[in-house]
Chains A and B, each alone.
Chain A
């Protein structure tokens, strides 16, 4: 069993829809959670990071963590074609850990 599970999709939604992405994990030592966005043939860029259980908002993006269920989510509101990318969840045990455990990535297409 992988430490981090993420449905690779692909996910296709119409413009303006809410995109819902999620990851589950098995290692309860993970305390820090990140979402990266990766456009085709580019490096990943950090979208959001969080530590606490609960919600964190940044513009159209909301990251949600439920440590009791070992489940994290990313919601994208009012999705745009420019949101079409692969979204990777990542997590680590300690804030200064060098090694991240990545999910497989979910490919999202937002149709105009």
Chain B
């Protein structure tokens, strides 16, 4: 299984809502990533978890809260988002420290904030 899955595919939420994005991989990878991608722009790194610990936080606003419950799962909790947070949110995974760390991306969740 060389797939990263993400749910939901699409999400529409209001600025006062709380929602979560979910990402799962079963490749035995020990690093997992969240990216944000706006239209016609490259992905921007948000967070990296390595061996279930937060390794990188690219100064992301606290209205985005990542969580890594186990080595296969990654969540992104969303609260009090702004319309400018509307984007494609991509999850990726890679082998982890010591390897090539080739990143495998999921299909993304398209988020619209009203």
Tell me whether A and B are bound partners.
yes
Q: Which residues of A contact B (CB under 8 A)?
A: 8, 34, 36, 41-46, 49, 88, 95-100, 102-105, 107
Provide the residues of chain A in CB contact with B97, threshold 8 Å: 96
How far apart are the CA atoms of A84 and B114 in the complex, in Å? 32
Other-chain residue from B45, B101, B104 in contact with A95 (beta carbon distance below 8 A): B101
Between A and B, 16 residue pairs with Cβ closer than 8 Å are: A8-B40, A43-B105, A43-B106, A43-B107, A43-B108, A44-B43, A46-B102, A49-B102, A95-B101, A98-B33, A98-B45, A98-B101, A99-B56, A102-B42, A102-B43, A103-B42
* B68-114 interface (Cβ within 8 A of A): 88, 90, 92, 94, 96-108, 110
Q: How many residues of B contact A (CB 8 A)?
A: 30
- Are B43 and A45 touching (Cβ within 8 A)? no
Other-chain residue from A41, A96, A103 in contact with B110 (beta carbon distance below 8 A): A41
